[in-house]
Amino acid sequence: MSDALRQSLETHFDQAIDWLHRMVDINSFTSNPAGVNALGKLTAECFHDLGFIAEQVPSDHPDFGHHLFLTRPQPGGPRIVLVTHLDTVFPAEEERRNDFHWQPAPDEGRIYGPGTVDIKGGTALIWLMLKAMRDVMPDVFHRIDWLIAANASEEVMATDFARFTADRCPAGAAAVLVFEGGPVVNGEYHLVTARKGRAEYRLTAHGKGAHAGSAHDQGVNAIVDLVPIIQAAAGLTDHAREVTVNIGHISGGTVLNRVPHHAAMELEMRAYDPALLQQAGAALHALARDASPGCSAIEVERLGLSPSWPDDERTRGLARYWQEAGAEMSLPTKLVKRGGLSDANYLCGIGPTLDGLGPAGANAHCSERAADGSKVPEYVDTTSFVPKAMLNITAIRRLVEAL
C-alpha cells in the first residue's frame, strides 16, 4: 500500500505545486477582501473535481473577505474537518517593494513566496492528500464526511469563523486537523498538540494635570504612578509554569511643562493552562486595585481573549494515530506545544484536534531578503510534501478504521 500511495502522490505532485503557484500569485492580505475572495473561488475550483461543494460565507466584519467551506457529504460517516486559511499578512505594496513573489529555488528544495508555508502550502497539501486517497484508498476516502474549512481572517484572529465552523458540525467531529506548517527537525516530524491562549489588556492611569513649574505639587503624575504597575505586571511572568506577560506599548503625557494627567500601557499574557491565564488576569486587576492611595486611578480593560488549546487526553489520543503511522512508515514524529495562536485555539471544542499538519518551511510573515543571505523570506520545503502527505493519510486511515 505504501508504494502505491507514494507513486500516486508523486504523480499528482506537479499539479499540487501548480495549484500552489496560482494561489500564491493572488494577493490575499487580510484587509484585501477582493483578493481573499478571489483565492476562495480558486480554492473552490481546486477541490471541485474531488466532489466538494463550495459555500462562501460573508464575514461578520465588513472589511474582511468571505470564509470558505467545502463539503463532501457522507451521511453517517465520521466528520473530519481539514482547516486552512485564505489570508496572509502581506499587503500588495509590501510584496512589490520587496520583490516578494513566487520564486522557485530547485537547488535549495524551496519555493519562496507569500503564503507558501503559511498556509497556502497547507491547502495544496490537503488537495494532494485527498487526490491520492481517492486513488489508493477509495473505501476510506468515500467513507468520510469531509469538511474543508478555510478562514478568511485567521491572521487577525477574528472569532466568527469558529462559530460558522461549529454550526456545520452540530454533532462535533471525529477530528479537527489544522494544516499550519509542520517543521521537520533532526529527522522528526513535529506535530502540534497545544497552543497558548492569549489575553490582551490596556491599563490606563488617570492622574491630575498641573503646571509643571508653578503648581507641580498640585498635580498627580500618571506616568510616574503607572511605572510600578508596569514593573509588577511584567513580574507576573512565570516561565516555570509557562506563563508570559509582554508589555507591548506605553504612552502618556503631552508637553514637558505639564504634569501628565494620562498614561496607558497595553500588554498581552499567554498560558497553556486556561486557569493560569485567568489567574494572571485576576492578579493584574489586583495590582490596579491595590495602587497606593493618592496616586492615579488605574483602569483595567481587557481588549481580547483567545482561548487556550490545552494538551489533553483527547488530543493525545488523536496524536497516537500519527505516532503509529510514523512508526509504520519510518517517519518519526515528535509532539510539541506552540506559544503562537492558530485556528486550533478556537476549533478544539468541536473535536480532538491536531495542528502542524502542513508542509515544512520557514520564515512565515517575513518578506525581506538580505544581500548577504542572513535573512530570507518565507518559503516552503518542496521535499516535505510527499512524506507529510503519506504520514497524514496513513494516520487518517488508522483513525477511520478504529471508529
pLDDT digits (tens, 9 = 90+) for 101-157: 999 999 999 999 999 999 999 999 999 999 999 999 999 999 999 999 999 999 998
- CATH number at 227 reads 3.30.70.360
More confident residue, 271 or 157: 271
Q: Do residue 387 and residue 244 come from a single domain?
A: no
Report whether 177 contacts 83 (CB < 8 A).
yes
- pTM to 2 decimal places: 0.93
pLDDT tens track for 12-26: 999 999 999 999 999
| Residues 356, 291 share a domain | no
Domain hosting 253: range is 197-306
pLDDT given at position 158: 85
- Is the same domain home to 203 and 144? no
Q: Do 230 and 330 reside in the same domain of the chain?
A: no
Give dist(CA 133, CA 9) in Å, integer.
9
pLDDT, residue 295, reads 81
What contacts 106, CB < 8 A, 6 or more positions away? none
Report residue 296's pLDDT band, with 50, 70 and 90 as the boundaries.
confident
Q: What angle do CA 20, 23, 28 make, to 5 degrees?
A: 145
Please state the rounded mean pLDDT for residues 22-47: 98
- Residue 85 scores a pLDDT above 80: yes
Closest CA to 401 of 139, 176, 147: 139
Residue pair 54/68 in contact by the 8 Å Cβ criterion: yes
> Rounded to whole angstroms, how far apart are CA atoms 50 and 70?
11
CATH number for the domain that contains residue 318? 3.40.630.10
One-letter amino acid at 356 equals: G
Residue 264 banded pLDDT, cuts 50, 70, 90 = very high
Q: Same structural domain for residues 181 and 323?
A: yes
pLDDT at 56 over 90: yes
Three-class SS of 235-286:
CCCEHHHCEEEEEEEEEECCCCCEECCEEEEEEEEEECCHHHHHHHHHHHHH
Average pLDDT value for residue range 213-242: 96
Provide the domain count of the chain. 2
Co-location of 278 and 315 in the same domain = no
**Domain finish residue from 258, 277, 306:** 306
Q: Please report which confidence band the pLDDT of residue 159 belongs to, taking 50, 70 and 90 as the band edges.
A: confident
Q: For residue 93, what pLDDT band results from cuts at 50, 70 and 90?
A: very high
pLDDT at 291: 75
State the DSSP H helix or E strand holding residue 93, giving kind and residue range, or none if neither.
helix 92-97
Answer whether 201's CB lies under 8 Å from 303's CB: yes
Which segment of 16-20, 252-256, 296-300, 320-324 scores lowest on mean pLDDT? 296-300
The sheet with strand 67-72 has its strands ordered as 53-57, 67-72, 145-151, 79-85, 175-178, 353-354
Rounded to an integer, what is the distance from CA 234 to the centroid of its chain? 25
In a shared domain, residues 397 and 297: no
What's the rounded Cα separation, in Å, for the pair 179 and 127? 11
